[in-house]
Amino acid sequence: MTTITGLSAVLHRAPLVRPWGTDVRSTHVIEVVVDCDDGTSGTGLSWTPTIGARALLALIEDDVRAFVVGRESDARSLWPALWAHLHEAGSGGLTTMAMAGVDLALWDRAARLRSLPLADHLGRTRDSAPVYGSGVNLHYPIDELVEQVGRWVAAGHQAVKVKVGRPDLREDVERIAAVRDMLGPDRRLMIDANQRWDLPTARRAVAALAPFDLDWIEEPLRAEDTWAYAQLRSAIDVPIALGENCHTIYRFRDLIDAGAVDVVQPNVVRVGGITPFLAVAELARAHSLTVAPHLLPELSGHLALALPEETWVEDVEDAGFTRLGILSGPAGVVMADGRLRLTGAPGLGLDFAESVTPGIPAQSEGRTARDHDLMKESA
């Protein structure tokens, strides 16, 4: 077994091509490289759109690096030991998001050693996966929302997801009616409330929106409110999707045992990487629940292609890593005609940019003093 000899991290800041709101105009990706004593390395990432990027970088460079250097490079055996070590700082959240960088890097290295894309290393079960168009669009005027949905239809998507949760429910109804008109009767429609409602509001909202033939309602309530989710699920016919803000398999197990969820949505970074993602997916499968990976199609696509059942991959418009200038070239997956496929690149297929993509002024900070078009801070 090889041993980890080094870990390095760089925080990339990239402006969003389509801001997710007046206060969300950039996203943060932490590139993590793990080196081993046989001369090989792997590249992974941690990610947070808005909150905690510097805290993540510090946790990776201090506590995570100090623990993993000198240990064996097997992701499955390292993960529980690292989680136990970091548990004092929290069972999930920053801890699992920091762990994801290492776990992804080790899986990337293992796949690259076999010259295989990650999906093939895991055991690919299909050649392609369906992609649904998604956007952070609650702040869009209704005409812009409909135009966005029109772009997804033109791109071949057979399903889309849009945000709901306007202060006046009548606005949500008007907007979803317009979206359904653009989609037509045969394409699938999901809605996402991003934890904006309490239980009575959610009941009223779902009753008003259900006639538009919804595949699921995502995060209608606070992600921590297991009791309310169980109550809501027993009161509505629209399936509940939940999981992007769950960080441990224990949290997923509690939701499943409570009968609170229909569609399980682990985010591969927030749960701590591929090792726990696979465990969550197996737990959901054991309870006959649908798995739908949350965001990050460059990672989720590999996982979707390796799951036993076909699952949808989420593609947020203009938020891919290549589009944001974080990568030096194409990712390891490609999306076209409503489907995701591999490019054949080994591992995760992610090579991070050394400099800014022209026209997209990203910034980075961390292990090196890279030259960028804009000023950067050194960690």
Residue 87 gets which letter from DSSP? Answer: G
Q: Give the integer Cα–Cα distance in Å for 15 and 13.
A: 7
Q: Residue 203 burial (CB < 10 Å; 0-12/13-18/19+)?
A: middle
Q: What CA dihedral angle connects 42, 129, 143 and 220, to 10 degrees?
A: -80
Q: Who contacts 99 (Cβ-Cβ below 8 Å, separation ≥6)?
A: 64, 79, 82, 83, 86, 272, 273
Positions of E strands within 236-354: 240-242, 263-264, 290-291, 313-316, 333-336, 339-342
CA 191 – CA 161 distance, rounded (Å): 5
Which residues participate in catalysis according to the annotation? 163, 294
* 272 Rama sector, left if φ>0, alpha if ψ -120 to 50, beta otherwise: left
Q: Is the dihedral of CA 366, 362, 136, 161 positive or negative?
A: negative
The identity of residue 69, as a single letter, is V
Which DSSP letter does residue 117 get?
A: B
CA distances from residue 86 to 1, 90, 220 in whole angstroms, order as listed: 24, 7, 31
Token pair belonging to 334:
């490609």
